[in-house]
Amino acid sequence: MRDMLFPKNMDVHQAPFAPAESNVKTTEASSNNIKRKHIDLNQDILMKNNLLAEHNRRFFEKKKITAFNLVSSPGSGKTALLEKTLGTANIILEDIRNRFYVIEGDQQTTSDAERIMITGVPVTQINTGKGCHLDAQMVADALNDLRPEEHAILFIENIGNLVCPSMFDLGEHERIVIISVTEGEDKPLKYPDMFAGSQLCIINKTDLLPYLKFDLAKLKANALQTNPHLEFLELSCSSGEGLDQWFHWLKAHVGQDQLV
């Protein structure tokens, strides 16, 4: 039986890249048999998650896996985009289709994982219960179940939420934010951290543009205010418009050493 890839509740202080202890200042004082110890920790609250995310990142590097973190509001089309990307009708990605893996994240139900299962791609579902975001430990646990092979292309579909997932590094290579044209051009300004922390913004449901007063240029300008390096793709998962460009983007970002 293979060893666990990731120990549960790993002690991050044992990680090779844990912060040095020497920057912790301690002063002690005693009175009435009570010892009082003041410790200048100066420690990032999310240190544990960040270290675990680095652990995930090194795992991906070692196994030459490219990992994408898909984030959006609920209903923007993350699962629909994956269905189109992973489906057998997709000729452009046929030669790399056997390397796709998916981690699905939702508060409840396995319905998204069931939609992915129909495509034949290996998938594992994380249910967070009341949790509003995925974190690095959850992804590490899911990787233990999924056991992606070398050169895998991994999609992590985060909880539908434009706020909390922005704070939690999962160890991904690229974060892709998906916004649909029914959501409003001011979304990037209302939720700046998500757009600032992403590398690609996919604008979905472009088939609905003729029926909406939606200013695509304004959306992009607002998003660029939060992140001047953000790339954009416009598409419709339901009509198929623009999907080819997404498939080509994906192929280009998987990396030359992955296209064996």
Partner 1 sequence: MHEVSIIMNVVSAVEDEARKHNATVVEHIVLEVGDLAGVDIHALEFAWEPCVKNTILEHAARSITKMEGWAFCTRCRCEFNVQTIFDPCPLCKEHVTRIIRGTELKIRSITLLN
- List the one residue from 39, 91, 252, 259 that touches partner 1 (CB under 8 A): 39
Least distance from partner 1 to the Cβ atom of residue 238, Å: 32
The tally of CA atoms less than 13 A away on the side-chain side of residue 92 is: 12
**Residue 89 or 217 having the CB closest to partner 1:** 217
Parallel, antiparallel or unpaired: strands 153-157 and 174-180: unpaired
- List the one residue from 4, 163, 259, 260 that touches partner 1 (CB under 8 A): 163
**Residue 151 or 187 having the CB closest to partner 1:** 187
Q: Contact between 18 and partner 1 (CB under 8 A)?
A: no
The tally of CA atoms less than 13 A away on the side-chain side of residue 79 is: 21
**Residue 24 or 118 having the CB closest to partner 1:** 24
Which two tokens mark 84?
């189109």
Least distance from partner 1 to the Cβ atom of residue 226, Å: 5
Beta bridge partners of 30: 35
For 154, left (φ over 0), alpha (ψ -120 to 50), or beta? beta
- List the one residue from 17, 44, 186, 241 that touches partner 1 (CB under 8 A): 44
**Residue 167 or 216 having the CB closest to partner 1:** 167
Q: Contact between 167 and partner 1 (CB under 8 A)?
A: yes
Gyration radius (Cα) of the chain, Å: 21
In angstroms, the CA 121 to CA 19 distance is 38
Q: Fill in the DSSP letter of residue 130.
A: T
**Residue 167 or 233 having the CB closest to partner 1:** 167
Strand, coil or helix: what is 69? strand
In angstroms, the CA 130 to CA 140 distance is 19
Least distance from partner 1 to the Cβ atom of residue 97, Å: 35
Q: Which stretch binds partner 1 (CB under 8 A): 51-59, 71-79, 186-194, 239-247?
A: 186-194
Q: Contact between 186 and partner 1 (CB under 8 A)?
A: no
Contact present, 101 and 155 (Cβ < 8 Å):
yes
Q: Write out the residues near partner 1 by the rule CB under 8 A.
A: 13, 34-49, 131-133, 135, 163-164, 166-168, 189, 192-193, 196, 224-226, 228
